[in-house]
Amino acid sequence: MAASLGGFFLPATALASSATYTVRAGDSLYAIAAKFHVTVHQLELWNHLSSDVIHPGQVLVVSQGGSQARPSSASSSSRTGASTYVVQPGDSLWSISEKFHITVSQLEAWNGLVSSSTLRPGESLRVAKPSSSPPSSSHHADTQQVSLTSRGSSPGSSNASLTQSALGFAVADYARTFLGDPYEWGANGPSAFDCSGLIQYVFAHFYIQLPRTSYAQYEVGVPVSESSLQPGDIVFFDTYGSGPSHDGIYLGNGQFINAASTSVQIDSLSDPYWADHYIGARRVIGQNG
């Protein structure tokens, strides 16, 4: 017997001596790596993966040579008294705050960061309040925040308070996990998407419910000028005549991710085709009434 790992076959004896994990809908290599305290590179190496594309039902080796890998939890990290965390590839301020049940604002304050700060793998972040931490200054009081229930948490767990811009970066990061997934008209995930299906699926992950079509999505949120675009904004195009027949998620630096042609891909707003068909953008993050 042999077990299939994304097109590569591992002998059953190899699986018997290693811990395995079955991919679920919405999983990414980064999320699985964080869960089992390994790196994305190790997952790719152990499973002979040539890309970070994975699919529900796929069996992955998550430890080498039978080491007893166990899913991590923020509570277990707290019990060990961990006060610092080493940034892993794919991390964002949002994902780290969720892991340790703290807010993005706290991470920023404890580490001298702002929501647009770039995290680098190997960088050490403080994830617990410093004993000599000064009281919060009043100038933080006007920071716009949005409260959402943490993904995967129990109904009774406390809400995580996130700054609007940090949540935008988190939405953009999550959308990137579907890069390369196939395009299919009318598909809304998790294994294939059309343009508005990708938008709806990604935002639903953050408990932001959007209509199904690009035309209806164009009617929600608030309009944003092209010069004011932020990660997480939805950009719209008239690819089939008049009206918002296509949309994508803005990533920053003039780029957006969208399900188009044959797969989920990243394109540039400055590309002549997209620039010619661009009709506007909407911001739904922070517009929850």
C-alpha separations of 260 from 27, 152, 184, 202, 213 in Å = 22, 29, 9, 16, 14
Angstrom distance (rounded) from CA 219 to CA 15: 50
Angstrom distance (rounded) from CA 231 to CA 39: 26
Angstrom distance (rounded) from CA 73 to CA 29: 17
Which residues, 6 or more positions from 101, have their beta carbon under 8 angstroms from its beta carbon? 74, 75, 78, 150, 158, 160
Written as six digits, the tokens of 285 are 């993050």
Q: What are the beta bridge partners of residue 223?
A: 282
Written as six digits, the tokens of 121 are 């793998």
Q: How far is CA 253 from the centre of its chain?
A: 18
Catalytic site residues?
Answer: 195, 246, 258
Query: 268, 227 in Cβ contact below 8 A?
Result: no
Angstrom distance (rounded) from CA 33 to CA 42: 8
Angstrom distance (rounded) from CA 187 to CA 252: 26
Nearest CA among 26, 35, 111, 23 for reference residue 60: 23
């891909």: which residue's tokens? 265
Angstrom distance (rounded) from CA 111 to CA 170: 18
